[in-house]
């Protein structure tokens, strides 16, 4: 039996691809365990637990241990990861160091927990692993959204694992999906590290473009034309792992987001004026994603940003977006013993951040919409 939005109690999961090390893991044979407050592992024997309710309660906090491989040490997967009866969706944030991936993700997750917004999309979202999700909400999201604090750069030495794990229920289709989102440092994405095998198995890419890195977009002598090495390295990995010889396209969708879009306002970029951040509400109308994509593509292609369009060219489904996760720049202040970057309250806001993620939801089947059928594809391919 598979419980919608919950845990498979009797259903056999069988062999899955680990989203972290991409090794094959026989789910039922992997050690089942729980963690105490110190992170110490304790074996969990369900045979000693009476009643489905008790089992379900325990399994919400349970993990399976994946042995990893020579590149990736042993790691845990939440027991609920494969248990929704659908194929888990893995999304990778891609972009060089300093492009704003971490802020964009925190802003997205914050929006996903806005019940009003989710109700409009007929979605319900909850954390996959309650422990990790609570830590993410209490750490990254609260620090960024509530305290307006600039988030530190993603560490090179952070373990390779998904930053956010979600269980997304589509109330229209009645289907539930596990969605996990990786946010690895830009430095690491550019490196040849073997422990980034997760990229090979990604279901979708969320590519982040920093407009300050593109020559002239935010200042006359600012930026360059060389593109993003993290994009290039990621696409190379994917092409090697997923493309058949002679096939030009990587068979996953990609949403390319020009973030920090607030920096592009009042600069006379008429082709994207409609899509620049404004208004109070999130633009949730995915029916206009195609238009926005065309506009952003043209914008980048014509204004020194061609080299950032690799994912848009090379992924099977691709969309392009404008978004602003902060609306402003952080002001650095000394607060007690530490230096903090804090966003001014008056101009701090998140705009259009959820739209790229919802688009990927639609492109990966998490969100079942009629409009999603043709999203991201060239007209000839529809």
Between 186 and 310, name the residue whose CB sits nearer to other proteins: 186
CB of 279 to other proteins, least distance (A): 28
Q: Annotate each residue in 82-101 with x if it binds other proteins (CB under 8 A) or - if it does not, as one string.
A: --------------xxx---
* Least distance in angstroms from the C-beta of 339 to other proteins: 6
Least distance between other proteins and beta carbon 61 (Å): 13
Q: What are phi and psi of 246, to 5 degrees?
A: 85, -10
Q: Is 219 in the site for other proteins (CB under 8 A)?
A: no
Element (H, E) at 178: strand 175-183
Distances (CA, A) of 24 to 66, 126, 174: 9, 26, 28
332 three-class SS: strand
What is the closest distance, in whole angstroms, from the C-beta atom of residue 34 to other proteins in the complex? 13
CA max distance for the chain: 69
Residue 208 CA to residue 81 CA, distance in Å, equals: 26
Token pair belonging to 20: 């972290």
How many CA atoms are closer than 13 Å to the CA of 266, on its beta-carbon side?
A: 2
- CA dihedral 324→328→329→335, nearest 10 degrees, is -120
How far apart are CB 371 and other proteins at their closest, in Å?
Answer: 35
* Stretch touching other proteins by CB under 8 A, among 3-11, 116-124, 332-340, 352-360: 332-340
Sites for other proteins among residues 61-80 (CB under 8 A):
63, 73-77
Which range of residues in 153-161, 278-286, 305-313, 374-382 is near other proteins by CB under 8 A?
153-161
Q: How far apart are CA 108 and CA 326, in angstroms?
A: 11
Taking the alpha carbons of 226, 231, 237, 239 in that order, is the dihedral positive or negative?
negative
Q: Which of 361, 333, 328, 350 is nearest to 121 (CA)?
A: 361
Does residue number 161 form part of the binding site for other proteins (CB under 8 A)? yes
Instruction: Tell me which residues in 25-44 interact with other proteins (CB under 8 A).
Output: 38-39, 41
C-alpha distances (whole Å) from 14 to each of 58, 68, 309, 317 are 20, 17, 39, 30
What sign for the dihedral angle of Cα 137, 104, 174, 22? negative
Of the pair 38, 379, the CB lying nearest other proteins is at 38
Choosing from 9, 284, 330, 369, the residue that interacts with other proteins (CB under 8 A) is: 330
**Using rule CB under 8 A, residue 155 touches other proteins:** yes
Of 264, 326, 316, nearest to 295 by C-alpha is 264
339 scored as a contact of other proteins (CB under 8 A): yes
Q: What is the DSSP letter of 87?
A: -
Q: Within a 10 A sphere around the Cβ of 123, how many other Cβ atoms?
A: 18
Cβ nearer to other proteins, comparing 85 with 341 = 341
CA-CA distance, 103 to 30, in Å (whole number)?
35
Binding string, residues 177-206; x marks residues near other proteins by CB under 8 A: --------xxx--xx---x-----------
Among positions 106-125, residues that touch other proteins (CB under 8 A) are none
Structure tokens at 175: 């289907």
What are the backbone angles phi and psi of residue 289, rounded to the nearest 5°?
-60, -40
- Report if residue 151 touches other proteins, rule: CB under 8 A: yes
Q: In this complex, which beta carbon is closest to other proteins, that of residue 64 or of residue 321?
A: 64
User: Binding to other proteins (CB under 8 A): which residues in 224-283?
Assistant: 224, 228-230
Q: Which span (48-56, 312-320, 327-335, 366-374) binds other proteins, by CB under 8 A?
A: 327-335
Based on the shown chain and the rule CB under 8 A, indicate whether residue 332 belongs to the binding site for other proteins. Answer: yes
Pick from 4, 11, 152, 344 the residue near other proteins by CB under 8 A. 152
Residues that bind other proteins (CB under 8 A): 20, 38-39, 41, 63, 73-77, 96-98, 129, 131-132, 135, 139, 150-153, 155-159, 161-162, 185-187, 190-191, 195, 224, 228-230, 329-330, 332, 336-341
């Amino acid at each position: 039996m598979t419980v919608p939005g919950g845990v498979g109690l009797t259903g056999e999961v069988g062999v899955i691809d680990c989203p972290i090390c991409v090794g094959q893991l026989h789910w039922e044979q992997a050690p089942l365990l729980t963690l105490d407050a110190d992170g110490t592992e304790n074996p969990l024997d369900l045979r000693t637990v009476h009643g489905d309710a008790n089992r379900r309660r325990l399994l919400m906090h349970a993990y399976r241990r994946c042995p990893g491989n020579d590149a990736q040490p042993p790691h845990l997967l939440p027991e609920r990861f494969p248990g929704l009866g659908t194929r888990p969706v893995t999304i990778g944030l891609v972009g060089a160091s300093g492009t704003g991936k971490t802020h964009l993700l925190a802003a997205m997750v914050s929006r996903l927990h806005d019940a009003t917004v989710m109700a409009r999309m007929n979605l319900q979202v909850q954390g996959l692993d309650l422990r990790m999700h609570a830590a993410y909400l209490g750490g990254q999201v609260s620090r960024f959204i509530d305290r307006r604090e600039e988030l530190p750069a993603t560490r090179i030495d952070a373990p390779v694992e998904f930053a956010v794990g979600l269980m997304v229920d589509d109330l229209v289709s009645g289907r539930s999906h596990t969605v996990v989102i990786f946010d690895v440092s830009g430095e690491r994405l550019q490196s040849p590290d073997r422990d980034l095998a997760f990229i090979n198995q990604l279901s979708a890419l969320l590519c982040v473009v920093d407009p300050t890195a593109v020559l002239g977009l935010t200042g006359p002598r600012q930026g360059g034309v060389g593109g993003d090495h993290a994009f290039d390295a990621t696409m190379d990995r994917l092409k090697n792992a997923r493309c058949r010889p002679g096939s030009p396209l990587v068979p996953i969708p990609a949403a390319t987001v020009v973030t920090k879009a607030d920096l592009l306002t009042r600069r006379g970029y008429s082709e994207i004026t409609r899509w620049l951040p404004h208004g109070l509400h999130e633009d949730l109308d995915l029916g206009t994603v195609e238009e926005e994509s065309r506009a952003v593509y043209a914008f980048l292609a014509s204004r020194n940003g061609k080299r950032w369009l690799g994912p848009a060219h090379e992924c099977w489904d691709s969309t392009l977006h404008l978004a602003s996760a902060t609306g402003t720049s952080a002001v650095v202040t000394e607060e007690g013993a530490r230096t903090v970057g804090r966003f001014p309250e008056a101009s701090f806001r998140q705009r259009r951040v959820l739209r790229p993620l919802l688009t990927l939801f639609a492109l990966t089947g998490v969100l079942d919409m009629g409009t999603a059928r043709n999203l991201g594809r060239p007209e000839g391919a529809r």
